[in-house]
């Protein structure tokens, strides 16, 4: 029997929050099961790969961050391949596939992936598998799972194609064969690949195909569609990343389900029970499951009792981090508002080197909640060792490809410090983490439910009970009491605790030595697995911190001045989201809710400039603001009206989504037919369509949007597109091009979050 030859391919990832990285790792880990060897590398480790000479297929997995930017560890790579000096055949030898991760709630969906793809093609590289564009807004797995399913055959096809090309070439037949012309090679590779691999069907693929088809009927009723319109994917193929859960075949009878919903002859349900985080219903509870492969462990963690454990802000970059005392905290909303908004003032006078501009943001470093850290310690059975020093090293015989001790884990930290400042213990456990937790769960029923949640068949349940309600790991562990993971597993799977950015809501010109920012206290409602609601991590922490010094203008309470706490911040400059440098350029700002924050900075700066340069010509300024109630959450009302009085703000357009609604409802009874009042910022934009489009299209003006990424930014974008369409009398495509042009010229700028 000939010895098995494993064929190599390369996996390169660019990842900001670890999603692309973990997908790349997952692919590399299961490659062997497909008779392949993956060479995994981060795009920033350019000493580990060499695309200029690469002859094996290359798989790129890249996310997009911010306003369409590459993740930090892909920046240099993108810069390199964008060099204009590279020739159009620079990557002629390269065969690639690309999975782009993005979020359609943000502008420039999958921009980094698209940029890489465009450049690869411009430089002559050939695509061997259709690009996947996965949308975190609806769930990455909708695209990722089938894309990975099809990848294995595609890689084998590409390898076969490359081998036969090489053989043809060696035989001197390359030129003679018309199918070998470069222009026809992309579709050719894709067509060939299915045919070749079908013939070559190796045993493991065959087995896995049978497994899936055998159970496909059972799974199909609960599994969501594996293809998204427009995602240009092949039909789902036998999976390589999924394996049949060994327990599943025998567990159709071991059920975590609520009693079955019986249907009588007439088909009328006799018992109707809902599923929950811990409890499933048929068909899922009776379905065989495809669960992800168990991720290999890769860290060895030990705790040692040591006297001097550094407990200062060790893992945070000390040079760019500034401890700033809070000097003021004002509640901007009235007591009964749905969302509480608070303005904080930081005293930056001890940090004169930190100069910020309107449009910049600040990262706020917050710790995990002390009670939750305690709970995790108890849950891990490590409470007594909380002050012990943590030693982390790579597991010697780990099977994980490219395993590394997370770079943000510094030495000399205590367990308490690690859980408080290093790991995002609130993060939503990914499916692969849930899969790993299965191995540490004693109770069979709980084990089965965890398998369901990480399985393909359990996608809908995972989305409903874990992802959509932002269930934290701790909440999951609480719901599954027999699950006792080791500390190492948490360190392997929990991401780094990230600072939270907030837009500066002040100008240094107006408030020298001070920095203002505004935040909404985020509230997570109770859900299955979370008996009581909780606040967002950073906003909850800030709220607790400032509660004793909070100033309520409406109650005319003066701030008692107990010792003011300090918080750690670092500057996040935003070089494009700035007021136009040409003072005569008109600009429009759209900032409902806390999205108004940077525009307060813009306007404070403009006011000072007007005082300092009375002879200068200043362009028009428009602000579109919106909130629920005029009397509840009209943030910065007095200051905004003051800007209008002073002429700093030419037009202030405000709308109230709920006041107007109530008034309209009353009016409806009177059967009035008056035109609908503007409820949201986009309605007001439309009412001022002529002015807005004139400013943008005739007067070289600027358009800024800040705030909620989920709905508002999209609605504003669509409205703007329609307005341009109507104004220029063009079709949608042309209007989109005009908008894209404005973006390119940095005259349509967004700073959005959510």
Q: Which residues bind ligand FAD (CB under 6 A)?
A: 361, 426, 470, 500-503, 517-520, 522, 536-540, 594, 597, 751, 753-754
The kind and range of the H/E element at 502 are: strand 500-503
- Could you tell me the smallest distance in angstroms from the CB atom of residue 574 to ligand FAD? 7
Residue whose CB is less far from ligand FAD, 95 or 550: 550
CB of 658 to ligand FAD, least distance (A): 17
Q: How far is the CB of 521 from ligand FAD (least distance, A)?
A: 8
Which CB sits closer to ligand FAD, 388 or 572?
A: 572
Shortest distance (Å) from residue 635 CB to ligand FAD:
11
Decide whether 147 or 362 has the Cβ nearer to ligand FAD: 362
Q: What's the per-residue H, E or C state across 129-198? A: EEEEEEECCCCCHHHHHHHHHHHHHHHHHHHHHHHHHHHHHHCCCCCCCHHHCHHHHHHHHHHHHHHHHH
How would you label 391-403 residue by residue, b for 16+ Cβ within 10 Å and e otherwise?
A: ebeebeeeebbbb
Distance in angstroms (rounded) separating the CA atoms of residues 366 and 109: 29
Find the shortest distance in angstroms from Cβ 539 to ligand FAD: 3
Cβ burial of 621 (10 Å; 0-12, 13-18, 19+) is buried
Half-sphere exposure for 292 (CA within 13 Å, toward CB): 28
Considering the complex, what minimum distance in angstroms separates the CB of residue 541 from ligand FAD? Answer: 8
Pair 751, 590: CB distance under 8 Å: no
Our CB check for ligand FAD shows the closer of 69 and 374 to be 69
Contact 748, 739 (CB under 8 A): yes
CB of 518 to ligand FAD, least distance (A): 6
The least CB distance from residue 359 to ligand FAD, in Å, is 10
* Nearest distance in Å: CB 215, ligand FAD: 34
Separation between Cα atoms, residue 371 and residue 673, nearest integer Å: 56
Backbone φ/ψ region at 232: left (φ over 0), alpha (ψ -120 to 50), beta? left
Instruction: Specify the residue, 196 or 752, whose C-beta has the smaller distance to ligand FAD.
Output: 752
Residue whose CB is less far from ligand FAD, 129 or 753: 753
Tell me the backbone φ, ψ of residue 472, rounded to 5 degrees.
Answer: -90, 165
**Among residues 125 and 471, whose Cβ is nearest to ligand FAD?**
471
The DSSP secondary structure of 44-100, one letter per residue, reads T-TTS--TTT--S-EEEEE--BTTTBPPGGGHHHHHHHT-TTS-TTTTTT-EEEEEE
Cβ–Cβ contacts within 10 Å for residue 302, how many?
Answer: 12
Token pair in block for residue 553: 């203008």
Helix (H, G, I), strand (E, B) or coil at 237: coil
Asked whether the beta carbons of 260 and 282 are under 8 A apart, the reply is: yes
11 or 522: whose CB is closer to ligand FAD? 522
Q: Which is nearer to ligand FAD, 421 or 753 (CB)?
A: 753
Nearest to 507 by CA among 360, 694, 402, 659: 360
Please confirm whether the linkage preceding 11 is cis (ω < 30° from 0): no
Least distance from ligand FAD to the Cβ atom of residue 719, Å: 21
Smallest separation (angstroms) from ligand FAD to the CB of 548:
19
For 635, the token pair is 């943030």
Q: Which of 98, 158, 96 is nearest to 125 (CA)?
A: 96
> 185 vs 472, which CB is nearer to ligand FAD?
472
Minimum CB–partner distance for residue 615 and ligand FAD (Å):
34
Tokens (6 digits) for 532: 């009581």
User: Do the Cβ atoms of 503 and 751 come closer than 8 Å?
Assistant: yes
Q: Which one, 332 or 649, has the nearer CB to ligand FAD? A: 332
Q: Report whether 35 contacts 302 (CB < 8 A).
A: no
Distance of closest approach, residue 509 Cβ to ligand FAD, in angstroms: 19
Residue placing its CB nearer to ligand FAD in the complex, 17 or 334: 17
User: Which residue, 359 or 402, is less far from ligand FAD as judged by CB?
Assistant: 359
Query: For residues 640 and 635, what is the distance between their CA atoms, to the nearest angstrom?
Result: 9
Q: Which helix (H) or strand (E) holds 642?
A: helix 637-646
Contact indicator for 10, 50 with CB cutoff of 8 Å = no
**In angstroms, what is the minimal distance from the CB of 103 to ligand FAD?**
11
- Smallest gap from Cβ 597 to ligand FAD, in A, equals 4
d(CA 460, CA 19): 20
Nearer to ligand FAD, 49 or 634 (CB): 634
**Shortest Cβ distance from residue 524 to ligand FAD (Å)?**
7
User: Residue 309 in 3-state DSSP?
Assistant: coil
CA distance 291 to 436: 11
Of 410 and 470, nearer to ligand FAD (C-beta) is 470
Minimal CB distance residue for ligand FAD:
536
Of 147 and 599, CB closest to ligand FAD: 599
């Amino acid at each position: 029997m000939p010895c098995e030859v494993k064929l190599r391919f390369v996996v390169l990832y660019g990842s900001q929050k670890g999603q692309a990285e973990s997908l790349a790792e997952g692919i590399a880990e299961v490659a062997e099961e497909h008779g392949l060897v993956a060479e995994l590398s981060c795009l920033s480790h350019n000493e580990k790969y060499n695309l200029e000479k690469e002859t094996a297929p290359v798989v790129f997995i890249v996310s997009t961050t911010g306003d369409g930017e590459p993740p930090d560890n892909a920046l240099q790579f993108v810069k390199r391949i964008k060099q204009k000096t590279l020739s159009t055949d620079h990557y002629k030898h390269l065969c690639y596939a690309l999975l782009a991760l993005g979020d359609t709630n943000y502008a420039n969906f999958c921009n980094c992936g698209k940029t890489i793809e465009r450049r690869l093609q411009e430089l002559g590289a050939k695509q061997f598998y259709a690009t996947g564009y996965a949308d975190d807004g609806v769930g990455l797995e909708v695209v990722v799972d089938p894309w990975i399913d099809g990848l294995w055959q595609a890689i084998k096809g590409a390898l076969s194609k490359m081998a036969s090309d090489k053989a043809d070439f060696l035989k001197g037949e390359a030129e003679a064969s018309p199918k070998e012309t470069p222009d026809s090679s992309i579709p050719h590779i894709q067509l060939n690949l299915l045919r070749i691999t079908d013939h070559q069907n190796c045993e493991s693929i065959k087995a896995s195909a049978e497994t899936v088809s055998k159970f496909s009927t059972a799974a199909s009723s609960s599994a969501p569609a594996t293809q998204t319109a427009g995602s240009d994917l092949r039909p789902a193929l036998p999976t390589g990343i999924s394996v049949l859960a060994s327990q599943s075949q025998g567990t159709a009878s071991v059920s975590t389900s609520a009693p079955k919903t019986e249907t009588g002859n007439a088909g009328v349900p006799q018992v109707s029970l809902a599923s929950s985080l811990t409890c499933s219903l048929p068909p899922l509870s009776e379905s065989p499951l495809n669960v992800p492969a168990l991720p290999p462990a890769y860290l060895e963690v030990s705790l040692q009792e040591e006297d001097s454990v550094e407990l200062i802000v060790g893992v945070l970059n000390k040079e760019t981090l500034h401890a700033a005392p809070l000097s003021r905290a004002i509640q901007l909303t009235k007591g009964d508002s749905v969302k509480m908004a608070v303005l904080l003032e930081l005293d930056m006078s001890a940090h004169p080197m930190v100069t910020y501009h309107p449009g910049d943001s600040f990262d706020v470093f917050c710790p995990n909640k002390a009670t939750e850290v305690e709970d995790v310690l108890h849950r891990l059975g490590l409470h007594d060792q909380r002050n012990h020093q943590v030693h982390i090293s790579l597991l010697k015989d780990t099977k994980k490809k490219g395993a590394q001790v997370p770079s943000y884990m510094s030495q000399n930290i205590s367990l308490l410090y690690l859980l408080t400042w290093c790991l995002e213990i609130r993060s939503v456990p990914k499916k692969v983490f849930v899969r790993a937790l299965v191995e540490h769960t004693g109770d069979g029923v709980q084990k089965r439910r965890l398998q369901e949640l990480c399985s393909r068949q359990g996608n809908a349940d995972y989305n409903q009970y874990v992802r959509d309600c932002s269930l934290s790991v701790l909440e999951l562990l609480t719901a599954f009491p027999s699950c006792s993971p080791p500390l190492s597993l948490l360190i392997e799977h929990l991401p780094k605790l990230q600072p939270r950015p907030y837009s500066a809501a002040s100008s240094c010109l107006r408030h020298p030595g001070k920095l203002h920012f505004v935040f909404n206290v985020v509230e997570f409602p109770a859900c299955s697995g979370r008996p009581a609601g909780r606040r967002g991590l950073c906003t909850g922490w800030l709220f607790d911190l400032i509660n004793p010094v909070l100033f309520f203008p409406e109650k005319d309470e003066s701030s008692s001045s107990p010792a003011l706490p300090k918080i750690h911040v670092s500057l996040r400059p935003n070089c494009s989201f700035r007021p136009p440098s040409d003072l005569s350029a008109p600009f429009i700002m759209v900032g409902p809710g806390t999205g108004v924050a940077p525009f307060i900075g813009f306007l404070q700066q403009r006011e000072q400039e007007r005082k300092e340069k009375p002879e200068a010509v200043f362009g028009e300024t428009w602000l579109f603001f919106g909130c629920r109630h005029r009397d509840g959450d009209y943030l910065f009302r007095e200051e905004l009206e003051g800007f209008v009085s002073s002429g700093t703000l030419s037009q202030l357009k405000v709308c109230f989504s709920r006041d107007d609604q109530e008034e309209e409802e009353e009016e409806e009874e009177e059967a009035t037919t008056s035109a609908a009042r503007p409820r949201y910022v986009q309605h007001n934009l439309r009412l001022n369509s002529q002015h807005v489009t004139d400013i943008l299209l005739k007067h070289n003006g600027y358009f800024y949007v800040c705030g909620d990424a989920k709905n508002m930014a999209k609605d504003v974008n669509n409205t703007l597109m329609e307005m341009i369409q109507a104004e220029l009398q063009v079709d949608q495509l042309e209007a989109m091009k005009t908008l894209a042009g404005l973006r390119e010229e940095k005259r349509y700028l967004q700073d959005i979050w959510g």
